[in-house]
Structure 1
Amino acid sequence: MQASTPWRIRHLGLALALALSLAPALAQQTSSPFNAPVRFIVPYPPGGPTDLTARTFADKIARTIGQPVVIENKPGAQGVPAVRQLLQMPADCHAMYFGTLSTQVVSHVINEFRKQPAPYDARKDLVPVSVLGGSPLAIVASKKSGITTYKQLVDALKAQPGKLNYGSDGVASLTHLGGEMLNQAAGTQSLHIPYKGTAEFSQALLAGDIQFAVSGIVAAVNLSKQDRINVLAIAGPKRSDQLPNVPTTAELGVPGVDLTSWFAVFMREGTPKACVDAMSQAIVKASQDPDVVQRMTAVGIELGMSNTPEQFARQMEGDFRKWHKVVEQAGIQFEK
């Protein structure tokens, strides 16, 4: 016996309602460009703050894209081995690289002045995806110097041109170039003394062998809490959550002294834009996760810097111009 028309209409309506309710989920599944695990290549060894940042974000990104994100550590040579590995992979959605201001901008600017170009072009071979976060540098002074404010530092530099020493963790490092930027902004001169790493120049600061330095925020926070150094300013756009009473260079009216080191994701050139955009959106979502915010703040990394691929590309171009100008004006003598 054939079913009545009202019965068929009723069940057709139920089927249509079910299909409509499932449509968004089905569309999300079919529209996602990720259909395999994603390899996240990190140019630093396991255990450090960069590795921690990558792993923290990888977990949240994996949940958003519905695929595992596998960390691969490929340390050494300012990220070159890691980038080479990325460039050997297919230009699809399933490989990305963790870059920093130092590896992707500063080292390339330095190589230009050394006439030793890197084996890849940071602007052409990689596609900027999004910034994960940033870590501002701090301007610090030795307790033995008697300098307690940024103004006192500038006054001392102007009163004794070329007489005060500042330390860094190596020639052409971000801490070295940060000191040069500070001198250029203030119109002062000081003597740069390079050391072999942060620990060594921190000891020199404590001993009074150097009067000031531009330091990573983690070291500055640790030594400040022990009351062993004076933190004069945060060289970034906002105050540090861990040093809330220390003013920024912007607040002090110092133009152009922004020494925020960013951490970001790149994909290889030729990767479909749908992949780049989807990963960028996943990073933005991860950076807003309370657990990510808490874990990153604990190691001195500020969030809220995530941006679109287009915004990040413009930011990088600005960084290249800025650091090229700093190095050029500093007249650094590089080893041949």
Structure 2
Amino acid sequence: MATLTASKRLVVKIGSALLVDAATGALRQDWLTSLADDVARIRARGTDVIIVSSGSIALGRGILGLPLTSLALEQSQAAAAVGQIRLARAYEEALTPHGIITGQVLVTLEDSQDRRRYLNSRATMETMLGLGVTPIVNENDTIATDEIRYGDNDRLAAQVAVTVGADQLVLLSDVDGLYTANPKIDSAAKHLDIVEKLTPEIEAMAGDAGSGLSKGGMITKLIAARIATEAGCAMAIALGTALNPLAKLEDGAKATWFAAQTDPQAARKRWISAMKPRGTVTVDAGAQDALHHGKSLLPAGVTQISGSFGRGEVVTVVDAAGVTLGQGLIRYTSAEARQIMGRRSAEIVEILGYDGRAALVHRDDMVL
């Protein structure tokens, strides 16, 4: 059975109901302080932590005095704009006493679907983690339209877990896991401690969208579980209402764990391998040797660019004889790649007019 203490890179999703008091619209400061204690302890043992947090609309609603009833789209967007500042400040104030630097990342589901934006998001969060920063991620509800509905941050958290290559995702919620039926209306419903594989029978246990304790119900959580587990990330649905919810999960609190179907690196490599290449990059002997030693592909080692491709698309990497070495996601368009091939990374800004990525294809985005 999966345990939280085994995690190397952890994504924690926090629902609005946990963070904001439904009656007053005020931040549950004591709860957030306890969560910060949990995060600091987990980070101290070497685990990267990324927080995906709802709450901007709920906080903004309270600040603006908007009703607790359903809001018009424009009101939701305005509430998100006001609440997001308060939300980011709250996390900063809670984590700073532990010596933890926080950084805000606002994304939409589309950022994981567009390859160029996906690569940018991934590179930014990887850099933040490398610098010791804890990213606080939220959906960009200020400009979102159909994304504004409760439960989407379950899917967003799964997408973030895939993007950063997390091995565990925890959805802190107002339910303690998945049951064979809705326990509120079926006394015979049984709690599932672990789900080895998502099957149609398991998915049917989620009921319809209105059957859960939140608007999205269990359905969005099972969608998140499928996204995460197929990418090599184990996922837990855990009750988060009490103080120190992650500590309680570590101590064996009731939850449902969904087993990863592979490991994150293998899943990512398989995804890249399955994509159709849009061009070819020929490298010299020095670059070929560097690739086989786990290095990224730099412009200096490239001798030829063939084909037409955009940023984030897949290219085949070949040696001087045309033998395929592998394929990967390229960080420049074909036109830009032709301009900088054979040149040092330090010359990119002078050639292109902007300071781009040092690597043409990063080692994490390449399959040999």
TM tier relative to shorter chain = under 0.3
Which fold has the larger relative contact order, with Cα–Cα distance below 8 Å and residues 6 or more apart in sequence?
A: 1
TM-score by length of 1: 0.25
TM-score by length of 2: 0.23
